[in-house]
Structure 1
Amino acid sequence: MIKKSVFSLLTLVILASCVSPKVYKELEAKYADLKKENRKLSADYEELVTAKAAAENDYKRTKKAYDEVLAHRDKLQADYNATKANLDNLKSSYDALEKNSSAAIAANSQKNRELLAELEAKEEALSAEITRLAKLKKELEDRSNRVAELESVIAAKDAAMTALKNAISSALTDFEGKGLTVEQRDGKVYVSMENKLLFSSGSWAVGSEGRRAVNQLGSVLGENPDIAVLIEGHTDNVPYSGNGPLTSNWDLSTKRATSIVNILRENENITPENLTAAGRGEFAPIETNSTPKGRAKNRRIEIILTPKLDELSRLLNEQ
């Protein structure tokens, strides 16, 4: 953590020396917002999965309690029936003894009163267990409904993201094998475009083929206004050696991400508030930088599409 903080401080010093204070502050604010939003979305997603697991565990515990109370009720019912049968037998005996002995009648009467009192106590216990059983059954139904609702919302979000992934893959079919990949993981869709499809070496100007790919992606995003779009620029670890206002890979990656955002903003159906640009420089590689092939993979634009989780947040807040 200390190394990362020192590194971040050095990077900020470099950025501050290469970019105007206004641009630097804007980029710093956008990147901070991006990190905050990314952490929030990841936390929301993890919280949702945790809430689902907790709800399922509560459901299992309530179901177990329900079964135990049901068995207890059945036992009380059996005890009640046995006691009632015993009482009936005693009443029959009472009728017989009444003819023969007043003492026996008195004893039998006392026993009868005791059995009646016992029977009333068992009836009260049975009634209390029936009430408790009804309460547990209602809790079980409520928890089951909550689990079902959470599962339904998660399934709907996953289905929507799968449909989005398929739509993007279909729209970008022409660019298969040209450094473009579309993946779905952790509830998000990742569109990765290698720089060979988008930019010339050291440049942040998008070529005609790359612009066509971004425009076709934008046509899909324009039909999905509830998707947050994060555009990240990445480079390899070869130091930037170009001329002009940029002096580092971080500057270059940020400028390239912003170029993609500017093309997407040309589509009036895309809400600008849903777009975020960020430069990651060489600090988030997906392959080794020790080979030309690995460095080519690391030089990329990564577009991360995230569904808005307002409905899931509402369900979690109702817990």
Structure 2
Amino acid sequence: MRRLPIYAVLAMLAMVSVLPGCVSNKKFRSLQANYDEMQRREQELNKQYQEAQQQLSSANSQVRSLEDRIAAERSNLAALQDALDKCLTSSNQGNVNISKLVDEINASNRYIQHLVNTKNRSDSLNMVLTNRLTRSLSREEVQDVDVQVLKGVVYISLSDNMLYKSGSYEISDRAGATLGKIAKIIMDYSDYEVLVEGNTDNVPISKPNIRNNWDLSVLRGSSVVQALQEDYGVDPKRLTAAGRGEYNTIASNATESGKARNRRTQIIITPKLDQFMELIDQAPEHEDGATEMPMDTTEVMPLQ
């Protein structure tokens, strides 16, 4: 009798090994469970990857927002350096102008570093705030809440179908847990101002007590502000209610999905303006303790 080649025997054994009848039900169920678990973990990792990509995009926007100012200061520094070079070639204009230019160049360098440090501090606080809020949201809440950082400002966008009762400005019961999580973040960051801004689509409102979409958007912003104050204890002095009607679109109103995106309420969290400007404009100090003011090249005397 003719013998089969070895590779044919191996192939037959492999086919037999995968037949369901050759594997116990217990082992098959165990393998199926492991497969399902791997698929679930893959989906979670994909979601985490997408969230990380969004945070990276927001961080890049923050970096660009202050890079322009830093670039302007560096241009100013280059102009001073050029003036210093001209001064060094002059035979009569002397040590006074040279000393002044050197001091201003050093002051400019310190101010640039001050701006960089200020930007990094602001970026870090905003990213911590955003990450804390994002991690606190459930999978269902993430579908209706969008958190972004743009130019140093935290934007929390809430869809109207989650936040309000249908066609109304009254807060729905469903929104309570989400607003509670946002309120906790706001309370923890007491140096930040909060602007609540209502937005609508372009479909005219037909309610006897609401004249138009301007009214509806402002009423919705005011409802959230009052909920943050009365239900969660946020200091009303930090809160501002606003509405932009149908005029601040982020999508086309030509489609139902676009209208749904435009119907939103944004909670905008920013550093208090006076404290932020004081932090930006606060000049570093000289080694002797004297305060440096941001330099102005118009004060440099032209060389003769």
TM-score of Structure 1 vs Structure 2, range by shorter chain: 0.5 to 0.7
Q: TM-score, normalised by structure 2?
A: 0.64
1:218 to 173, 183, 189: 183
Kept in 2, the 8 Å contact 1:228–1:308? The answer is: yes
Kept in 2, the 8 Å contact 1:233–1:302? The answer is: yes
Cα distance per residue 1:219-258 (max 9 Å; x no partner): 110001111111111111111123x422322222221111
1-side partners of 2:84 and 2:236: how far apart? 52
Kept in 1, the 8 Å contact 2:183–2:232? The answer is: no
Kept in 1, the 8 Å contact 2:141–2:178? The answer is: no
304-313 or 201-210, which moves further after superposition?
A: 304-313
Cα distance per residue 1:154-187 (max 9 Å; x no partner): 2212221222222221222444442210011011
| Counterpart residue number, 2:264 | 300
Determine whether 1:152 maps to 2:117.
yes
| Counterpart residue number, 2:134 | 169
Cα distance per residue 1:275-308 (max 9 Å; x no partner): 0111222121111111111111111111111112
2-side partners of 1:255 and 1:281: how far apart? 10
| Counterpart residue number, 2:212 | 248
Q: TM-score, normalised by structure 1?
A: 0.61
Structure 2 residue runs of 5 or longer lacking an equivalent are 1-64, 283-292, 295-304
Kept in 1, the 8 Å contact 2:180–2:232? The answer is: no
Query: Structure 1 pair 60/175, CA: closer, same or farther in 2 (3 Å)?
Result: farther
| Counterpart residue number, 2:46 | none
Kept in 1, the 8 Å contact 2:199–2:217? The answer is: yes
Structure 1 residue runs of 5 or longer lacking an equivalent are 1-46, 74-124
Kept in 2, the 8 Å contact 1:171–1:217? The answer is: no
- Deviation of 1:212 (Å): 1.2
Query: Structure 1 pair 293/241, CA: closer, same or farther in 2 (3 Å)?
Result: same
1:55 to 70, 73, 78: 73
Kept in 1, the 8 Å contact 2:153–2:270? The answer is: yes
Query: Structure 1 pair 172/265, CA: closer, same or farther in 2 (3 Å)?
Result: same
Q: Which has the larger radius of gyration?
A: 1
Query: Structure 1 pair 204/61, CA: closer, same or farther in 2 (3 Å)?
Result: same
2-side partners of 1:283 and 1:131: how far apart? 58
Residue identity in the other structure for 1:157: S
- Deviation of 1:129 (Å): 5.5
Residue identity in the other structure for 1:304: I
| Counterpart residue number, 1:199 | 164
2:107 to 142, 156, 172: 142
Residue identity in the other structure for 1:188: V
| SS in structure 2 of the partner of residue 189 of structure 1 | strand
2:251 to 273, 287, 297: 287
Query: How many residues are treated as equivalent by the alignment?
Result: 220
| Counterpart residue number, 2:47 | none
Structure richer in helix, relative to its length: 1
1-side partners of 2:120 and 2:261: how far apart? 32
Using the aligned pairs only, state the percent identity: 32
Q: What is the Cα-based RMSD across aligned positions, in Å? A: 2.9
Residue identity in the other structure for 2:160: N
